[in-house]
Structure 1
């Protein structure tokens, strides 16, 4: 099993990697600087050697060979002796221990010495040159002293080798301090951990942000949002349980009463009458249970962010009206449809939108009564699609329209059977898909017209 991710290890890795690269880069920089300063000092020493040789030549002017003292000065280091050459413009080489090349731009007589890099025998060297007047009139003597770069590079390496371990120790010390700093910094999360651990199971209130570091407040805000969604889900569950208890209490009590009646009076006609009531009560209980589940599903869906897909509302309405026409004819209700055959596109879920239409039509058929009319219409508008269901029943007084859509609310004076959940389901589904619910009078001021105005998918 792989080790769980560690914030401490991750922070140290991202710090150790650049520090290691910085150590290597510092080594290269130290070597370059050490070589630079070694060149500066060795070039200064080389110039001093050239001036010393110049003084000896002036004291031995006219001689064709250097004095023994001058040779000792030039060849004091047997492992890496300096190379020199003394040339006369008229007489050529006066003294030399190496064939040093002539400078491309020799200095003027008694001018400051010049120094440049040369290659002699495959070795890189530095050469200092200066000019002085010869013993004869018009003659010029050029003194050149050169040495290899071996000593310079050896000095730069010594400085690098002596410095890198110190830099490495400093980096290791910094990493140790960072380790302790990260460990101590992560203790800022302890109050948040204790706050969450000390909560009761049903405590989903927002976290106390005062004890939360700024860097992780986005995480705690996400946790608060999760708590809010959980609260909504728990509220839906509690409402569902309360609604189920409210709706099923009466039919269950009725079923028990009819069962006791049948047991108390075993005559066939009494048992048959009790069974009729049992059938009606069980059908009502089943219908109420189905509506409760639909309402719970609509309330749960309203917490989700997925908007749905494009649905043809006209096709759903036409198909459903075709299915309900036989039942409407049996109930002596004129059920009709007005609107386009297709093209009424809205964003939503086909099952939920059909459920809203089912509840609207059921409610209208229930209140239209015999010889009544129920009309389902769809009107495509500029930016919306209007779905309306109206009936020719007694209608609802305007003072009760604001309460339509509340769970279990039934207008006073309503004697029709129902659970009071139909319009509540419609309202939740409408809220889910951003539709406005509008209540008005039906045609000729009769009945009730319920309009759902959905945003058009187009």
Structure 2
């Protein structure tokens, strides 16, 4: 759950890089749009001007031909005379038709557009050629009308639509040309240019994200490698991590870890050295104090001082036991089960030996000390001194906390690839909420009248951890008492 809530470097880089790419892409799209719009404006405006000049040139040719034809026809009428023209009905009709005032009619008429064969942009282009005398020479076959003439470029709104216009006055002053196109044509063109330029980027964006995800994952691989090294190393292994083939960006982190390992190792060594040295230094004066107290007790026998001296001797015994436990704990803390320490140990034989050694302690309290289970050698790959200390501490605790005339039973069981050691007593038991705390150093049960140092179970827990075993503690269901089970794996090493 913790990992799910922690921020991810890969996700952060992916989001940052994709966001940056998208922002840059949008900025690029904006400038591409401006550039495309400007170029389209230039091209379309140039096209409008060119088309207006072409139309003006063509229309000027038509008007000049028309004027020349009228002048020639007028000369013919003068040469023939009006009487001759009037006598010829057909000639008279032709001349009247040709010379008639048709200012109300267009000089030329566009061929009707066939929508099926025309271009879709055709309906968005319009033009008007109008003479200075008010006559319309040519207009596009569109309903749009341009009533206002403005020379040069301008924008006009006609029937609710925006048009881009270009107005041209014919140099001779006979007519003027207006040509325009809907602004939507330009918008469509710009949109097409921008989209066609940027759609490859849009389509490739998921691919870019996938590539970034893979590349970032590859770049973070050294971090995962170092994390695996730290995670799978033995808790007691404080050797430095090699910086060989480690990326420069990761070297400071590895260096800091190595510095931390070194400082922790120094602290642990100082603690172990202090514990061992202090215990060793105290053993001699305490032993001397006990000897003096015993000698004094024998010398003063019958003088009433024996009770006081017995208390002194018991206090010295407790201090001696504490020192022995401290020395044992220091040795266990400094141990790591290397292959050179591991051997085949007969767990059954060691259990019987410890029971025999503690028999006098059980006999002194009239406690029935029994063994049940396997009656043959049970070989276990383990650290022999550690197994002996574990058995002694668990059984010794059971005897100490079991009242007089109680029972302590030790049992060995085999289950497939595991071996289970069970120690059962008839003592007061331990409340469940206090059981885990007893594995801590100097934590004792509720009965403080029992002699002890509070280190026995912490030493047992350390030995259990060294053997990659598990320890379980539970109160008995049938009566008061405690069950302690240690489960070993045959192949832990």
TM-score, normalised via structure 1 length: 0.48
Larger radius of gyration between Structure 1 and Structure 2: 2
